Amino acid sequence: MTHDLPKRTLLVFLSLSLIILAGHAMAQDADVTGTWVGSTVRGGTTMTLVLKQNGNSVTGSIVGYGTGDGPVSGTVKGNAIRLRFDNSTEEWPLLNVKGNEITGFLDGGSAITLRRKAS
């Protein structure tokens, strides 16, 4: 019976280690680096968003957004990305990242869906 104690202790330690590692993996920020293409629900024009992520900071550019075309910057936290369109509109939409899809609403209320292009 005393020989089982080290085995049980090791099993408990390994189980706790796996739980901690799984929690850490789930808490990591989404990776948004790449080229994203999509449109608003109205589908007026195709937008292309090119992003580069460094830690939780994001920089890039957007084309096809009309007066909002140009540089963007922002932050990623978990599965959320908040972008700032560096132009006169000063929009800061909060969007959701799920795998290869970004969805959410622009400041004007338009729903947007962008999908990552395969590289």
The count of structural domains within the chain is 1
- Asked if the structure places residue 8 within a domain, the reply is no
- Asked if the structure places residue 91 within a domain, the reply is yes
Residue 27: the pLDDT is: 57
Give the pLDDT band (50/70/90) at residue 33: very high
Q: Cα–Cα distance between 116 and 97 in angstroms, integer?
A: 10
More confident residue, 9 or 37: 37
- Structural domain including 107 reads 34-116
Residue 64: the pLDDT is: 85
Of the candidates 91, 38, 43, 35, the one whose C-alpha atom is nearest the C-alpha of residue 61 is 35
- Asked if the structure places residue 111 within a domain, the reply is yes
Q: Give the mean pLDDT of 15-41.
A: 73
Residue 103: the pLDDT is: 93
- Asked if the structure places residue 88 within a domain, the reply is yes
- Asked if the structure places residue 109 within a domain, the reply is yes
Backbone angles phi, psi at 33, to 5 degrees: -60, 135
- Asked if the structure places residue 7 within a domain, the reply is no
Mean pLDDT of the chain: 80
- Asked if the structure places residue 43 within a domain, the reply is yes
User: What CATH number has the domain bearing residue 67?
Assistant: 2.40.128
Q: Cα–Cα distance between 106 and 119 in angstroms, integer?
A: 26
- Asked if the structure places residue 3 within a domain, the reply is no
